[in-house]
Amino acid sequence: MSLTVSEKKDLLKVATQVRRDVVRMVHGAKGGHPGGALGCTDLFVLLYFKYMKHHKNFSMDGKDEDLFFLSNGHISAVWYSTLARFGYFPVKELDSHRKINSRLQGHPTPHEHLEGIRMASGSLGQGLSVAIGAAHAKKLNKDSRLVYCLMGDGELQEGQVWEAAMYAPNRQIDNLIAFVDYNGQQIDGPVDKVMSLLDLRAKWESFGWTVLESNGNDLEELSETIEQAQLLCGQGKPIIVLMTTSMGYGVDFMMGSHKWHGVAPNDTELEKALMQLVDGMEDY
Amino acid sequence: MKKFTFTEKLDTRSGFGVGLVEAAKQNADVVALCADLTGSLKMDAFAKEFPERFFQVGIAEANMMGLAAGMTIGGKIPFTGTFANFSTGRVYDQIRQSIAYSNKNVKIAASHAGLTLGEDGATHQILEDLGLMKMLPGMVVINPCDFNQTKAATIAVAKYVGPVYLRFGRPTVPNFTPAEQVFEIGKAVMLNEGSDVTIIATGHLVWEAILAGEILAEKGINAEIINIHTIKPLDEQAILKSVAKTGCVVSAEEHNYIGGLGESIASLLGRHNPKPIEMVAVQDTFGESGIPDQLMKKYGLTAADIVAKVEKVIARK
């Protein structure tokens, strides 16, 4: 068992609050991408509140820290909330998401100097390459910390992902753990209908990656998978976790449909959503 | 007209190769990536001397740009190496998001720019790269004129913090600038002071401008010749000062006239001191196969073309 009872309780509390933040941010901005953000909340909370070594006193180089790169930048709300809740910047700033003069742009960027963000993302397919580059730099610097990267499943339709997928095993990038948000949905519908990924495990394995699978909305299972992935680092191969999630997880009417990929809840829907997300912390 | 001489013709890409090794000796954080064109980019010496700092990425330029951006996190100073076409148009979005917008300290080293790549033809002869790169906020754009200047530019950009596009070429051209020059990013180089016309050239068209200056001198036309190696940021003061004296400009570059150096100068003059300008550049067409000299002639990029444009622009004063 990788999480103690009290740890799990604490992490669930944070996850609930992050989900509350996500729906409130998207509602406040009257736009955004709640579906993937809610689906990936458990991963963000586990990485930032348990598994990554990192400081809220942000430095771009992140020496001797674990680094995280979000390739599917449209789920920015969950990242912003996680960073703020950890203490990178004031939680009140979450209210500015997607609004004018904000550091919390629709898609994440270091351009506005928001603590915690090292790379812009939004145009899909670029994050894995960046994460591999950062992993290379860590090796050159004899820095033993790890690099984490999250991609969407629809995003895997981008060609650059497979350039990066080919590169990493060839260069023994074994200080990298990548995750795929395997929720099976993209803007135009189910991934299988838009452009099927077919046997995704076989694809990554054939490129030379160690492939793990996990339920991304079960804190304990995901936690065990992350620990397993960490143990597999340093063995000459990059690691990828195919993380099955439910888009919109935590809010029943947002779950399992691509409809909530990029739509904000109205006032009634917000209220309904927040009633399902209880026992969090304090709203911003 | 001041006399310019050279002892040998050398390719600017070799200037890059030598400069890269020198930059790497000066700073252990300099690393290099190449997309299967190590010999063409003259990166072999670097790869041999610093194997642990050299990254062969295969034919995957988009990934190369992302890797380079990532390597800056942790303090590395990556130089990416491929042809100018594959350094810009092929990977524009990667450069835009992961390098320029993210303000990453990546040096994009782009060889075989322009028509003089030669026989491979238009698929490889990019004539739009300066325009593409100068439009990106924060991107420094440099196009040196000979071996020595390219070497000096390479060393200088390694010291500069921020994204840089460094453009050079394949053919051998007269190596006439001083071996031990200091390269100042954004600073124009005054080659010949004159009073009748300002010729502003970049890349290996600078030598053509010098040849044109000699022909013009024989005709009694006193040309001021300026080498602009940094297209962005443009040395606006140097240009405005010269044009205030001469009253007209001819620009010269191996690039489409749309988006190139000439366009930047025309914009500057339009905003501050409207004067006639003529542009020696490719006239919004693609290139074709041929040897460099034939192509330069066919597409109007020779000293004779500069002379003709000078006569035309002086008549418009």
* Length reported for chain A: 284
B139 and B205 in a common domain: no
Q: Is A132 on the interface with B (CB under 8 A)?
A: yes
B196 and B170 in a common domain: no
B181 occurs within a structural domain: no
- A109–B67 C-beta distance less than 8 A: no
B153 and B228 in a common domain: no
Pairing state of beta strands B230-232 and B140-142?
A: antiparallel
In angstroms, the CA B6 to CA B11 distance is 13
B91 occurs within a structural domain: yes
Beta bridge partners of A73: none
B161 and B62 in a common domain: yes
| φ/ψ (deg, to 5) at A168 | -60, -45
Task: Choose the closest CB to B73 out of A62, A126, A164.
Answer: A62
B13 and B160 in a common domain: yes
Give which of A12, A16, A137, A4 is closest to A65, Cα–Cα.
A137
| φ/ψ (deg, to 5) at B165 | -105, 120
3 state SS of B164: strand
Q: Domain residues for B216?
A: 189-315
- B57–A137 C-beta distance less than 8 A: no
Q: A127 and B67 in contact (C-beta within 8 Å)?
A: no
Mean pLDDT, chain B, as a whole number? 98
**What pTM, to 2 d.p., does this model score?**
0.97
Q: What is the pLDDT of residues B20-72, one digit of tens each?
A: 999 999 999 999 999 999 999 999 999 999 999 999 999 999 999 999 999 99
B228 and B165 in a common domain: no
Q: Is B148 on the interface with A (CB under 8 A)?
A: no
Whether the predicted interface score ipTM is above 0.90: yes
- Residue pointed to by tokens 């506005």: A112
Of the three residues B140, B174, B208, the one that is the final residue of a domain is B174
Which element (helix H / strand E) includes B67?
helix B61-71
B227 and B123 in a common domain: no
Q: What is the pLDDT of residues A220-239, one digit of tens each?
A: 999 999 999 999 999 999 99
Pairing state of beta strands A189-190 and A185-186?
A: antiparallel
Mean pLDDT, chain A, as a whole number? 97
How many separate domains does chain B show?
Answer: 2
Task: Choose the closest CB to A126 out of B55, B75, B97.
Answer: B97
3 state SS of B248: coil
B109 occurs within a structural domain: yes
B183 occurs within a structural domain: no
Q: Is the pLDDT of residue B217 over 90?
A: yes
What is the predicted pLDDT for the residue at A1? 59
Task: Choose the closest CB to A132 out of B70, B76, B78.
Answer: B70
- B74–A123 C-beta distance less than 8 A: no
Please report, for the domain that includes residue B261, its CATH number. Answer: 3.40.50.920
B298 occurs within a structural domain: yes
Q: What is the pLDDT of residues A142-182, one digit of tens each?
A: 999 999 999 999 999 999 999 999 999 999 999 999 999 99
Of the three residues B146, B174, B202, the one that is the final residue of a domain is B174
Q: Which two tokens stand for residue A261?
A: 């990929």
- How many angstroms from the chain centroid is the CA of residue B20? 16
B156 and B38 in a common domain: yes
Of the three residues B144, B174, B204, the one that is the final residue of a domain is B174
Environment class of A196 (CB within 10 Å of its CB; exposed 0-12, middle 13-18, buried 19+): exposed
Give which of A40, A237, A36 is closest to A132, Cα–Cα.
A237
Q: Which two tokens stand for residue B244?
A: 């205030």
Which of B31, B61, B64, B67 to mutate to test binding with chain A, by most A CBs within 10 Å of its CB? Answer: B67
